[in-house]
A and B are shown apart, each in its own frame.
Chain A
Amino acid sequence: MVDWLARLAAQDRLLTIVGIATALLFAIALLFALLTIALRLRSLRLATVRTRLEQTWEPLVLGALTGDVSPEAVRNAVAPRDSLFFVAYVLRFVNRFVGEERNTMRQLTRPYLPLVAAQLKSRSAESRAHAVQTLVLVGMEEYDREVLSALDDPSLTVAMVAARTLASKEQTRFAPEILGRIHRFEHWNPLYLASLFSGMGSDVVPALRQIYQDPSSDRRVRRVVADALHDLDDIESAATAHTIALAEEDVELLAASMRLLARVGGPADSGVARRALGHDSALVRLRAADALGELGGPQDLLRLRAAIDDPEPWVSLAAARALSRLGGRDILESLCQEETPRGSLAREILSAGAGPA
Chain B
Amino acid sequence: MIESFAWGFLHAFNWLVLGYFALLNVTYLVTTLAAFRVIRRYTQRLKTVQAHQLLAASGSPPITIVGAAFNEQATVVDAVRSLLNLEYPSYAIYIVNDGSKDDTLGVMQRAYEMEPVDLFPTGTIPTGRVRGVYRSRTHPSLYVIDKENGGAADARNTGFNYARTPLVCVIDADSLLERDSLLRIARPFLEDRDTVAAGGIIRVINGCTVESGFVTDIRLPKNLLARFQVLEYLRAFLSSRVGWDSLEANFLVSGAFGVFRRDVLIEANGYDRTTIGEDMELTLRIQRTQQDRGARHRVAFIPDPVCWTEVPETLSQLGRQRDRWHRGLLQVFERHRDMVGNPRYGPLGMVAMPYLFFLELYGPVIEVLGYIAFAITVIAGAATLPYVLAFTALAFGFGMALSIAAIALEELIFRRYARSTDLAQLFLLGIVEAFGYRQLNSWWRIRGTISYFRGINTWGTMERRGFRGGTR
Contact = CB atoms under 8 A, between A and B. Distances in A.
Interface of A: 8, 15, 18-19, 21-22, 25-26, 28-29, 32-33, 35-36, 39-40, 43, 124, 126-127, 129-130, 133, 157, 160-161, 164, 186-196, 198-199, 231, 313-314, 316-317, 320, 341, 344-345, 347-348, 351, 354-357
Contacts of B92: 356
Contacts of B48: 126, 129-130, 133, 157, 161
A40 B423 contact: yes
A341 B92 CA distance: 21
Contact of B394 (A18, A194, A313): A18
24 contacts: A18-B394, A25-B401, A26-B397, A28-B401, A29-B400, A29-B401, A33-B427, A36-B404, A36-B407, A39-B415, A157-B45, A187-B191, A187-B194, A188-B192, A189-B59, A190-B193, A192-B60, A192-B190, A196-B59, A198-B58, A313-B122, A344-B118, A355-B117, A356-B164
A187 B166 CA distance: 17
Q: Which 8 A-B pairs have the closest CB atoms?
A: A195-B59, A25-B397, A192-B59, A126-B44, A354-B117, A347-B118, A345-B120, A29-B401
Contacts of A160: 49, 191
A356 B141 contact: yes
A164 B191 CA distance: 11
A357 B401 contact: no
B408 interface: yes
Contact of B411 (A36, A188, A192, A348): A36
B118 A192 contact: no
B387 interface: yes
A15 B120 contact: no
Given A32-B401, A188-B190, 10 more contacts: A19-B390, A22-B397, A25-B398, A35-B408, A36-B407, A36-B423, A194-B59, A195-B58, A231-B58, A341-B121
A200 to B, nearest CB: 12
B404 A313 contact: no
Contacts of B391: 18
Contact of B119 (A35, A157, A354): A354
Name the residue in B117, B121, B407, B408 with the highest tally of chain A Cβ atoms < 10 Å from its Cβ.
Answer: B408
B408 A199 contact: no
A264 B6 CA distance: 84
B456 interface: no
B53 interface: yes
DSSP majority for the A interface?
Answer: helix
Nearest to A127: B44
B141 to A, nearest CB: 7
B119 A22 contact: no
Contacts of B380: none
Contacts of A198: 58
Contact of B164 (A186, A344, A357): A357
Interface residues of B, number: 55
A314 B45 CA distance: 38
A138 to B, nearest CB: 14
Nearest to B118: A347
Given A8-B386, A32-B405, A124-B44, A348 B400 contact: no
B393 interface: yes
Nearest to A11: B386
Contacts of A357: 164
B198 to A, nearest CB: 12
A18 B44 contact: no
Nearest to A131: B48
B235 to A, nearest CB: 12
Nearest to A4: B386
Interface in B283-315: none
Contact of B57 (A190, A199, A347): A199
A40 B57 contact: no
A87 B69 CA distance: 48
B420 interface: yes
A317 B121 CA distance: 9
Name the residue in A29, A160, A164, A357 with the highest tally of chain B Cβ atoms < 10 Å from its Cβ.
Answer: A29
B120 A39 contact: no
Contacts of A28: 401, 405
Nearest to B25: A25
B393 A22 contact: yes
A21 B386 contact: no
B67 interface: no
B243 interface: no
Contacts of A193: 59
Interface string B375-409: 00000000000110011011001101100110110
A356 B57 contact: no
Contacts of B214: none
Interface string B24-66: 0000000000000000010011011100010001111100100
B193 A348 contact: no
B320 interface: no
A33 B192 CA distance: 36
B120 A316 contact: yes
Given A40-B411, A195-B57, A196-B57, A317 B191 contact: no
Contacts of A36: 404, 407-408, 411, 423, 427
Contacts of B387: 15
Name the residue in B49, B61, B141 with the highest tally of chain A Cβ atoms < 10 Å from its Cβ.
Answer: B49
Contact of B64 (A161, A189, A356): A356
Name the residue in A28, A43, A124, A348 with the highest tally of chain B Cβ atoms < 10 Å from its Cβ.
Answer: A28
Contacts of B451: none
A348 B404 contact: no
A298 B297 CA distance: 44
Name the residue in A22, A26, A43, A345 with the highest tally of chain B Cβ atoms < 10 Å from its Cβ.
Answer: A22
Nearest to B397: A25
Contact of B45 (A29, A126, A189, A313): A126
B304 to A, nearest CB: 15
Contacts of B165: 356
A351 B120 CA distance: 12
A129 B49 contact: yes
Interface in B169-188: none
Given A316-B120, A345-B120, A189 B53 contact: no
A133 B189 CA distance: 21
B126 to A, nearest CB: 13
Nearest to B56: A199
Nearest to A30: B404
Contacts of B124: 313
Contacts of A316: 120
A29 B426 CA distance: 13
Name the residue in B53, B118, B164, B411 with the highest tally of chain A Cβ atoms < 10 Å from its Cβ.
Answer: B118
A26 B60 CA distance: 47
Name the residue in A347, A356, A357 with the highest tally of chain B Cβ atoms < 10 Å from its Cβ.
Answer: A356
Interface in B115-159: 117-124, 135, 141, 143
Given A26-B397, A39-B408, A126-B45, A313 B120 contact: yes
B173 to A, nearest CB: 19
B369 interface: no
B399 to A, nearest CB: 9
B390 A22 contact: yes
